[in-house]
């Protein structure tokens, strides 16, 4: 069973404790939904492998293709399944002024302004977030630098050997929850 803590407790302990992986409540639901979808796909591929028999070149190629697809599905399931034991962090209170897991943060970097959603499971957000919003893993240097910061604060982080700086323009504590609720409804 996963441990569940409030976002305020997470922010209080963030700097001093290693939580391991952390996820939002709806991310756990999305993981379970995606794992069920991957399992159904895996069963379909297994059935296709059974249907592909014979020793000619076409059958051998089809067998290799389904074998490769099965491996990809298994890898995806393995990566997502690892998050099921993560600490679940409740969404931040809508009056919370600090950036945290579950926040949509607008940042300005050298005159460019863009939105960042701080997420626990980046695999869930690779294609789901719009072009206007960047999903940012809580493990990323950018997210780690802005967690706990408020509007007007500056955050400094490194990308490789290069030092980067962003200013926090706004923090929205409800956008991420609305987005994940919409994803679950699909």
Mean predicted confidence (pLDDT) in 166-182: 87
Strand partners for 136: 118
Q: Where are the beta strands (DSSP E) in the chain?
A: 4-5, 22-23, 87-89, 104-109, 112-119, 133-137, 154-159, 162-172
Read off the pLDDT of residues 4-60 as tens digits, 9 standing for 90 and up: 999 999 999 888 787 788 999 888 888 998 899 988 988 887 777 666 555 444 455
In this structure, what token pair is assigned to residue 30?
Answer: 């999305």
What topology is assigned to 91-185 in CATH? Chitinase A; domain 3 (3.10.50)
Q: What is the pTM of this model?
A: 0.79
Higher pLDDT, residue 131 or 168: 168
Rounded Cα–Cα distance for residues 99 and 159 (Å): 20
Rounded Cα–Cα distance for residues 170 and 179 (Å): 18
Domain boundaries defined on the chain: 91-185
Read off the pLDDT of residues 59-79 as tens digits, 9 standing for 90 and up: 554 555 567 787 888 888 988
Given the DSSP bridges, would you call strands 104-109 and 162-172 parallel, antiparallel or unpaired? antiparallel
3-state secondary structure of 97: coil
Report the chain's C-alpha Rg in angstroms: 20
Q: In the chain, what percentage of residues exceed pLDDT 70?
A: 85
Q: What is the pLDDT of residue 169?
A: 98
Q: What is the pLDDT of residue 56?
A: 47
Read off the pLDDT of residues 103-159 as tens digits, 9 standing for 90 and up: 999 999 999 999 999 999 887 776 545 667 888 899 899 999 999 999 999 999 998
Read off the pLDDT of residues 85-103 as tens digits, 9 standing for 90 and up: 899 999 999 999 999 999 9
Strand partners for 152: none
Rounded Cα–Cα distance for residues 87 and 102 (Å): 14
């Amino acid at each position: 069973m996963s441990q569940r803590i409030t976002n305020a407790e997470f922010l209080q302990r963030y700097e001093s404790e290693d939580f391991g992986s952390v996820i939002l409540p709806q991310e756990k639901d999305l993981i379970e939904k995606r794992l069920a979808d991957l399992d159904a796909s895996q069963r379909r591929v297994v059935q296709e492998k059974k249907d592909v028999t014979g020793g000619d070149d076409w059958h051998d190629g089809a067998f290799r293709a389904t074998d490769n697809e099965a491996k990809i599905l298994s890898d995806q399931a393995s990566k997502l399944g690892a998050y099921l034991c993560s600490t679940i962090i409740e969404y931040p209170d809508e009056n919370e002024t600090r950036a945290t897991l579950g926040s949509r943060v607008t940042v300005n970097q050298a005159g460019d302004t863009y939105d960042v959603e701080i997420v626990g499971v980046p695999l869930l957000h690779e294609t789901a977030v719009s072009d206007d919003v960047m999903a940012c893993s809580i493990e990323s240097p950018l997210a780690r630098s802005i967690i706990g910061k408020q509007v007007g604060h500056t955050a400094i982080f490194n990308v490789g050997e290069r030092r980067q700086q962003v200013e926090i323009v706004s923090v929205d504590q409800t956008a991420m929850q609305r987005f994940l609720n919409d994803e679950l409804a699909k």
